[in-house]
Chains A and B, each alone.
Chain A
Amino acid sequence: MDHAVRFSHVSKKYHLGLTRTSVAAAAWRSLRHAWNGSRGADDVYWALRDVSFSLEAGRSLGLLGPNGAGKSTILKLLAGITEPTSGEVESSGRLAALIELGAGFHPDLTGRENVFLNATLLGLPRHEVRARFDEIVAFAELERFIDTPIKRYSSGMTVRLGFAVASCIEPDVLLVDEVLAVGDAAFRQRCVARIQDLRSAGTSLLFVSHDMGLVKAVCQEALYIEDGAIRHAGDTGETIDHYNRVLDQRRLAKLQQQAGSPGDHGIVEIGRVEVLAGDGGPVRAVTSAEPVQVRISYTAYTDVPKANVLVRMMRSDGLSCFVLRTSQDGVPVRFDRGTGTVAVTIDATRLFPGSYYAVVWFLDASDANGMSRATSDWFEVQGRTAGIDHHDGVFEPDHAWLTRPAAAEGAAPVGAKPGPAGERG
């Protein structure tokens, strides 16, 4: 099988100070280094060190690791945005990089003009853009707004147009860097479906995301990368397990290291925030009527006799939907040194369909000062009815309709139509 992508002993060095360079400062620095006899190695940062891997054509590879590990550098090297300091980067066929959706969009230009501009920047010849234009617009669902300047678009519409352009390139190698974290849930699902379509048509994929569930769903293999080196390579599930084990071990090591040194800060650390089904099982999607549980695992480095926990439910666009506080509910919280979990169950979120995530705060006894904060992965709330829903507002409380003909009671609202309970406008 051919290799779609191959890295051979690739290293990438960045000079940290370079952006501030003026001629005078550079001259002064080299003078100082000459005086000290040093070469200023402290200004150098190795984003990647001697990285080698390859991906067979038609396969998909996830890149895992903390921020600053070097994941994005790998994609930028592959895309040809930057060059390796040493080593060789090879890829075969047409390559498309979704590193930033809609880069080059100009707010004053219409959707149509921006489609041509963006597609051209991504390397699609003009006649091909023309041939696929209708397809792009249909995928973005922007037929009505395509001749409107995109400064009048919502951010969701802009992202949809960006992805629609980028994914129509049908590359042999597709690079995706955390771009799906924006946009609404329905569109995100279609993006993933689109990536799967490309995959089944033979496109090789490199995928960067902090959403382990998404990586698991999309990728066959994964690399765990940290400090510019590959720490683990294998199939996706195995690599994710390894990565989680490493994170757990680190938390434990930190606990042991901090034993007996009670400080004011960092005395409790949130490990993981999971949104689970009501019975505690894993879940990626629930309906608005089903129970969910937000479970928080933590590590306390010292005993905390009195504390508070706050759970804020966020919609994908950053809207705060509701907040649950132990202080408000009068629930006492204490953390004993060691690890433990806190969970809150919600009978039914009643939220409209969409992507949501939970933000969790551990607060001190006064309920005012934060001790630790963490967020969950995204989860989907699905509608009760099939098809695309258009909703105004945030949630739908339990409700029932009551209508009577005017003859039965004089006070009945005029114009109310009889219908099944719970019908939405």
Chain B
Amino acid sequence: MPAAASPAAVARNRAPASPAMVALDVTRAWAARTLRARYQQSAFGWAWAVVQPVAMVAIFTVVFTRFVRIETGGIPYVLFAYTATVPWTLLANAWADMAGSLVANLNLVTKIAFPRAALPAAALVARAVDFGIGMVLLLALVVAYGMPVTVQWLWVPVIVAVLVTFTLGLGLASSALNVFYRDVDPAIKLLTQLWFYASPIIYPTALVPDEWRWLYYANPVAGVIDALRDVLLLARAPGPELAAAAAMAVVALAAGYAFFRRVEGRLADVI
């Protein structure tokens, strides 16, 4: 731009920024706001990102190696549980945060026009940062326990993508539905508890009877966790359940986004 241009001339007579760019900008800014606000005045700061899964793993390890013995096929229970707890924490926390993201910011939704999907998306991004820290710690732990680093690790980004895609679809739909029906919040709390036991977090899928396996893998989280255990702990490629989870994730995102777009224009009227 010419140096002589006044600030006014710079800003004027330009087309409005593209909606996608605005959506990305808002998502980034809101995610940064969420993270800063979460950690700014806390003494432990970023440590909180890993405290929750680590604490869960600690208690599981005590209970399921000392009190109730669970057969993990020779994998140290700590590794076994932490591999599942990291993705599960992302899903559970992001789902809850995303579902509340529109309702909690109703002054924005009713007072400013911006791409509404940015709010649930930012809630996911903010949790994904915690997840990233958790994953780094997980990989370090796997190496520390002497597990071989194999070419199968290349699957990790794919598995993460499936999980994030699924969570995004679920969270988008839940955030919009929550605006219309506040039952969504308590329902999510309950479903999250049930879902925890329906996923192979504290026990291996091997304990699920063969004839129920197909139904068990209708839960994409089961597919994601088993795929992660396959590539990190068993040094083998993921089974077909990852493909099933990926297909469900794509459907969830498509349906969740379509639903969100459909009701987006009515959010400010109802909230």
Interface residues of A (CB under 8 A from B): 14-15, 18-19, 21-23, 76, 79-83, 93-95, 97, 99-100, 103-104, 106, 108-109, 113, 116-117, 120-126, 128, 131-132, 135, 168-170, 172, 201-202
Contact = CB atoms under 8 A, between A and B. Distances in A.
Contacts of A121: 26, 29, 108, 112, 114
A18 B270 contact: yes
B12 A108 contact: no
A113 B36 contact: yes
B11 A22 contact: no
A14 B266 CA distance: 10
A82 B263 CA distance: 11
Given A109-B37, A123-B17, 12 more contacts: A14-B269, A22-B181, A81-B113, A100-B111, A103-B107, A106-B33, A117-B29, A120-B28, A121-B108, A123-B16, A126-B25, A132-B7
Contact of B8 (A19, A123, A170): A170
A140 to B, nearest CB: 16
Given A23-B181, A106-B33, A120-B29, A97 B112 contact: yes
B11 A169 contact: yes
Interface string B244-271: 0000000000000000000001101111
A79 B14 contact: no
Contact of B33 (A21, A83, A113): A113
B41 interface: yes
A75 to B, nearest CB: 10
B110 interface: yes
Contacts of B40: 108-109
B21 A125 contact: yes
Contact of A201 (B8, B36, B113): B8
B10 interface: yes
A106 B30 CA distance: 10
Contacts of A109: 33, 36-37, 40
B36 A81 contact: no
Interface in B206-241: none
16 contacts: A80-B113, A81-B268, A82-B265, A106-B33, A120-B25, A120-B28, A121-B114, A122-B114, A124-B17, A125-B17, A125-B21, A125-B22, A126-B29, A132-B11, A169-B11, A170-B11
Looking at chain B's contact residues, is the secondary structure mostly helix, strand, loop, or mixed?
A: helix
B10 A22 contact: no
A79 B40 CA distance: 33
A107 to B, nearest CB: 9
Nearest to A114: B33
Given A82-B269, A109-B36, A113-B33, A120 B26 contact: yes
A88 to B, nearest CB: 14
A267 B183 CA distance: 48
A79 B181 contact: no
A21 B7 contact: no
Nearest to B118: A121
B101 to A, nearest CB: 13
A94 B270 contact: no
Contacts of B265: 82-83
Given A120-B25, A123-B22, A103 B111 contact: yes
Contacts of A135: 7
A79 B113 contact: yes
B180 interface: yes
Contacts of B266: 82-83
Given A23-B183, A108-B36, A116-B29, A81 B112 contact: yes
Contacts of A21: 180-181
Contacts of A117: 29-30, 32-33
A106 B33 CA distance: 8
Contact of B183 (A15, A22, A80, A81): A22
Interface string B19-45: 001100110111011001100110000
Interface string B143-183: 00000000000000000000000000000000000001111
Contact of A123 (B105, B114, B180): B114
A108 B36 CA distance: 8
Contacts of A169: 11
A4 B21 CA distance: 24
A106 B122 CA distance: 15
B85 to A, nearest CB: 29
Nearest to B114: A121
Contact of A103 (B7, B29, B112): B112
Contacts of A99: 111-112
B113 A94 contact: no
A121 B107 CA distance: 12
B112 A104 contact: yes
A81 B111 contact: yes
Contacts of B25: 120, 125-126
Contacts of A131: 7, 10
Contacts of A168: 11
A19 B270 contact: yes
A245 B14 CA distance: 44
Nearest to A94: B16
A184 B133 CA distance: 47
A23 B187 CA distance: 13
Contacts of B16: 93-95, 123
B268 A108 contact: no
B180 A82 contact: no
